[in-house]
Amino acid sequence: MALAHKKKELETEFAAVNATIAEHEASHEARLAAVQGDFDMAAYEAAVAEANANYDADMERIAKERELANEGKGDFEASIANKVREAAEARDAKDAEIAELEAKASSDKEQAFIDIEAGKVAAAEAHEANVQAIKDEVAAQAAEDDAAYESVAEEIKVIAERLLELNEKMQEKLTALTNL
């Protein structure tokens, strides 16, 4: 910021010097007429010497200001180069960080897909186990029902046989009664 301010001051001074030179050149005709009107050679030479001295002083001051500006330019360029280097380092660090985060996200995503697939397989296996357990339970219940049915059927058969026996006995008794 100080370099920019110094540069501005030097540009202002340079513009003032250029204005002074332009003013001096503009007044040249008037001064020449004044000198020629009286045309005092000593006064003319003194005016030329003064003008040359002013010109030399202005040129010397301008050269010093240019030298200062060039020194400031070098510092400014070094400062800009440093800032560009720092920005490049920061960019490279951010790029590396982003690449690392992208790699981690990709790895996490792949792991999530693997976990999902494993979950699907586990869920399918659990479902199959549940289906088999239900089938086994249904088969066991059917076996129990069949056993109970067989038991009831056996009881009915025993009762039916007893009823048949009783019926035959009654038939025999009735036949014996009717034969009497």
Task: For residue range 79-138, list pLDDT tens digits in order.
Answer: 888 999 999 999 999 999 999 999 999 999 999 999 999 999 999 999 999 999 999 999
Asked if the structure places residue 152 within a domain, the reply is: no
Say which residue, 27 or 147, is predicted with more confidence. Answer: 147
This prediction has a pTM of: 0.36
User: How far is residue 64's CA from residue 139's CA, in Å, rounded to a whole number?
Assistant: 110
Query: Does 179 fall in a domain?
Result: no
Task: Please report whether residue 71 resides in a domain.
Answer: yes
Please give the average per-residue pLDDT across 40-63, as a whole number: 87
Q: Is residue 163 part of a domain?
A: no
Number of structural domains in the chain: 1
Q: CA 86 to CA 145: how far, in whole Å?
A: 85
Q: Does the residue 98 lie in any domain?
A: yes
pLDDT at residue 41 tops 90: no
7, amino acid identity: K
* 6 inside domain: yes
| 8 assigned to some structural domain | yes
Q: What is the mean pLDDT of the chain?
A: 86
Which residues lie below 8 Å from residue 123, measured CB to CB, with a gap of 6+? Answer: none
Residue 95's domain comprises 2-130
Whether the pLDDT of residue 39 is over 70: the answer is: no
In a domain, 110, yes or no: yes
Rounded to an integer, the average pLDDT of 141-170 is 88
Q: What is the DSSP letter of 103?
A: H
Query: What does the pLDDT read at residue 98?
Result: 94
